[in-house]
Structure 1
Amino acid sequence: MDLLTLLNNCHIYYDSKKIKNYEISGIKINSHEVCPNDVFVAIRGQTNDGHDYIRECINKGVKTIIYEDHYYDYLPIDDVNMIRTHCTKTTLAVLANYFYGQPSKKINLIGVTGTNGKTSVTSFIYQIYRLLNQGCTLIGTNGMKIGDKSLPTENTTPNALVLQQIFAESLKQGITNAVMEVSSHAIKQKRISQLDFNTVILTNFSQDHLDYHRTMLDYFYTKGMLFASLGNCFGEKKVLLNGDDKAYKKFLSLTNVQSYTFGITALNDIQAKNIICSLDKISFHLYCFKEFFGVVESKLFGFFNIYNLLAALGYFYLQGFNMKEILPLLPCVKGIPGRMERIENNIGLDIFIDYAHTPESVYRILSEVRMFTNRRIILVIGCGGNRDELKRPLIGKIATGLANHVILTTDNPRFENPQNIIDNIIQGVINDNYEVVLDRSGAIKKALEMMTKDDILLILGKGHEDYQIINNEKLYFSDKLEVLKYLGIHS
């Protein structure tokens, strides 16, 4: 594809007297990856600014630079196509979409958003497609999969360039279904711009990311942009919302496409009745628009996974699948690594790790475990540094209110003093049933030393993560491996 074809079809305006046309090899946003025939798009990020690398790209022979900083209008740069746009994040999405052949228009794209449950719902939909022997691409917190091939990702939702590449590669492999987590950061940073979603699912909505959004109103409207982006026409596109969430009607007001709900209360379109939950399994009767379709049996833990399963099942029902074929597959659907993951051991200890790090998710897990048992709950938990400080006292209140013994520790302190984070958490405690062990490895060891077979140990906050971020270093650390290491020594 030549440069002028790309620019003209993307309606990128330029000075025709100054533009030199050539065959382009690709679009890049990383100066380390550029080749002379690439188009470099300078993106302003949270920690790096692509404009700072324009000169490096020019020195490497790059012939076209797209930027948004007016400063570069006045630099005497010869033999380089310098094109300024108002927002290079949007421009990147538009260029990548056209360059890769508008792949999201040719794929059945499902977006899952919400405060909690995104990873589980996307994984369940992906797993069911694979159990039906249908191809599916998965994009989310735990990485990406094109069919059965796994790929790493740094963000819950990758940048616009990577997304278009992934969908183009999926089509090349004959895969026409894709399900992805859509974070609020991705929406605000225009990573999902130009994606043509067929279905959007809302899991729930509660306080999170206020370090980034500052207010709940900004957080809400950022999420709402995804629903509004589905268009103004009532057609094949649809949204599926958690009808038991108090915010669902507000989201409903932001979309004009077909809308459906899931939940356990009577007014929902997709409903669970006769629910049974334990530490080892869940089951319920599935009703779709008041019609009984069968009993759902699953080895997953937790009341919250009923909602996650309902979201996935509701999606397949609305897509016209035979639910009699779907339900027998559910015992094969596995939980997500780091999401109420039981650490198997041969000494009979009930130990779980989970990614829960918001007040809502911590409350949900503790209250559900408390619902199932009167056994002593030992909890290891912390809060991330340089993140929403308002949730720290809330987590202190919830933890000390629902657990029997709480060990407060570090969880990616980043550039903050770990003790200051702990002090913020302690501001909310309502009982004196806690202690502080700053070293996370030591906190886990302390919890394991004090527990018996009559206890339940919950290690929350990191789940699948295999690192600790201290200052600007990403150090290897795994809650799961810390437990296994201890049990290997003491079993």
Structure 2
Amino acid sequence: MQASKLINSLKFKKVIPNRFEDFSVSLLTQDTREVVDNSIFVAVKGAKVDGHTLVDTAVQKGASMIIAQEKLSSIEVPVVYVRDTKRAMAILSSYFYATASEALRMIGVTGTNGKTTVTHIIEAIFRAHGEKTGLIGTMYRKIGDEILATKNTTPDIITLQRTLNKMVERGVSTVSMEVSSIALVQGRVWGIDFDVAVFTNLTRDHLDYHKTMANYAHAKSLLFSQLGNSYTHNGDTKVAVLNIDDPIGRQFEHDTAAQVLTYGIKQDAMVRASNIVIHSQGTDFDLQLFERKWHLKVKMVGLFNVYNILAALAAAYASGLDPEEIIRTLESFPGVRGRLQLITSPTRIAAIVDYSHTPDSLLNALETINDFAKGRVFCVVGCGGDRDHGKRPKMAAIALAHSDYPIFTSDNPRSEDPQKIIADMLTGLPEGEKVPTFLKRRKAIEFAVNHALPGDIILIAGKGHEDYQIIGEHKYHFDDVEEAQRALKMKEQES
């Protein structure tokens, strides 16, 4: 695409010099590490780095045009000045990557918990339907069977548009995508044409960023208020899929112009589960979809997974798939890595690895395990550094109240002192209550395994699918599943 044509997508701008030698744009980027000849570099003011300070580097590496919002001096290439480079970046990337989302069925999922599981179930449903699928989320980006690394739950807008463009080129038809609250506030999904938007729930998280629950809820609402203000687009109907057991889900009904499909267990939802039976091998329940009823036996354990299943089913149904076909996939779906992932051993001690990093998700995991546990329940849990301090005592109190043997340790301490994080957790305990604490997560897991007896269950909470630990500025390999398997193996050999 020619530079002159691309920047014409920006209606309000100032180009200096007004006349310049046109060129074919090779790349649009905000990252100087990506810059090649004939790139356009967008200078974005980030939380840690201001892209305006990197313009000289971008030009030296071959950038032929700069998009800026602050005055630059002595720049040898044309500069396009705009009021907001983040907004300009969203508009430019949409045009540069051929408005790829409009060629795809886009299903966005937002909420505190369940996003990863719901997007994976949706992907499985459409794959079983015979479609080539894409997935974007916490664990990775996925195009068909190809897995690409990701830095954030929701990538920056250029990476996102670039990924969607590749999906179109490779024949993907449906994309299930996690949409984080921070991404919504930062405009990382501006210009993405979602067809279905799903809300899972809202509980405490990310208050280090949003400051208040009201701000957090408003951030989530943006996905639904931006879902379109007309009832057809290219022949498709926009749909908001809302959990109305959560009062925020009922609130979002008033925040969207889209048609609404509700799901839940307690309320009179359009998609509803009842007569729920949870056991160690899965969950059984009755499903009602308007006037039709089925009895399901799924391999996923827990009440919160019933909500996840209802959310995915509703999204697929809203997209036009047959309920019978959807249900067949649901009953065969094995679950998601790091989400209540069971690790068995000849010792008859079971470990469960789960991405329980919020008070609500930890409570859900422990309540689920207590429903089928025959022996004692151990809980190895920590809290992340440089994040919401307020949830630390809450998670500690939940671990104490809902497990027989809580053990506190590190998660990703980042730049914080791990001992200080654990000390914050201990403030959530009654005076005089003692809990084993370990700065090294490996030692905490070993301690739990060494003290467990046949029939006991060990929940290792907080990291789930993550295969690393961030300590200071460094990222080290660390996998809870591997550590649990290693500790159980050692115990087996000793016995």
**1:416-458 CA-partner distances (Å, limit 9, x unpaired):** 1111111111111148252111111100100000001121100
Which aligned runs of 4 or more in structure 1 are off by greater than 4 angstroms? Answer: none
2:140 equivalent in structure 1: 143
CA–CA separation in structure 2 for the residues paired with 1:113 and 1:425: 28
1:385 equivalent in structure 2: 385
**1:318-372 CA-partner distances (Å, limit 9, x unpaired):** 2222212222222321211111000132332211011111011111111222233
Letter in 1 for 2:461: L
Q: Secondary structure at the match of 1:275?
A: strand
Q: Does 1:111 align with 2:112?
A: no
Q: Once the 2 structures are TM-superposed, how far is the Cα of residue 266 of structure 1 from its aligned partner?
A: 4.7
Alignment of 1:229-268 (within 5 A): 229-235=226-232, 236-268=237-269
CA–CA separation in structure 2 for the residues paired with 1:331 and 1:359: 29
User: CA contact under 8 A between 2:276 and 2:284: conserved in structure 1?
Assistant: yes
Distance of aligned partners of 1:64 and 1:12 in 2 relative to their CA distance in 1, 3 Å threshold: farther
User: CA contact under 8 A between 1:275 and 1:282: conserved in structure 2?
Assistant: yes
Q: Does 1:77 align with 2:75?
A: yes
User: CA contact under 8 A between 2:56 and 2:75: conserved in structure 1?
Assistant: no
1:202 equivalent in structure 2: 199
CA–CA separation in structure 1 for the residues paired with 2:21 and 2:105: 38
Match of 1:159 among 134, 152, 156: 156
CA–CA separation in structure 2 for the residues paired with 1:152 and 1:467: 14
Q: Once the 2 structures are TM-superposed, how far is the Cα of residue 18 of structure 1 from its aligned partner?
A: 4.4
Letter in 1 for 2:177: M
CA–CA separation in structure 2 for the residues paired with 1:196 and 1:369: 39
TM normalised by structure 2 equals: 0.95
Q: Once the 2 structures are TM-superposed, how far is the Cα of residue 276 of structure 1 from its aligned partner?
A: 1.3
**1:366-400 CA-partner distances (Å, limit 9, x unpaired):** 12222333531111001001100011111111111
CA–CA separation in structure 2 for the residues paired with 1:319 and 1:30: 36
2:427 equivalent in structure 1: 427
User: CA contact under 8 A between 2:270 and 2:290: conserved in structure 1?
Assistant: yes
**1:235-280 CA-partner distances (Å, limit 9, x unpaired):** 4101001111122122222111101211112510001122111122
**1:48-98 CA-partner distances (Å, limit 9, x unpaired):** 32222111112223220112223x2xx1223x1112222212111111110
2:33 equivalent in structure 1: 32
2:354 equivalent in structure 1: 354
Alignment of 1:287-298 (within 5 A): 287-292=288-293, 294-298=294-298
**1:287-311 CA-partner distances (Å, limit 9, x unpaired):** 111321x222211111111000011
Q: Secondary structure at the match of 1:274?
A: strand
User: CA contact under 8 A between 1:400 and 1:433: conserved in structure 2?
Assistant: no
Letter in 1 for 2:408: L
Match of 2:128 among 127, 131, 135: 131
Unaligned 5+ segments in structure 2 are: none
Q: Secondary structure at the match of 1:51?
A: helix
2:48 equivalent in structure 1: 47
2:449 equivalent in structure 1: 448
1:193 equivalent in structure 2: 190
1:310 equivalent in structure 2: 310
CA–CA separation in structure 1 for the residues paired with 2:388 and 2:460: 20
Match of 1:86 among 80, 83, 87: 83
Unaligned 5+ segments in structure 1 are: none
User: CA contact under 8 A between 1:400 and 1:432: conserved in structure 2?
Assistant: no
Alignment of 1:310-389 (within 5 A): 310-373=310-373, 375-389=375-389
2:179 equivalent in structure 1: 182
RMSD: 1.5
Letter in 1 for 2:210: H
CA–CA separation in structure 1 for the residues paired with 2:108 and 2:474: 32
For this pair of structures, how many residues does the alignment match? 486
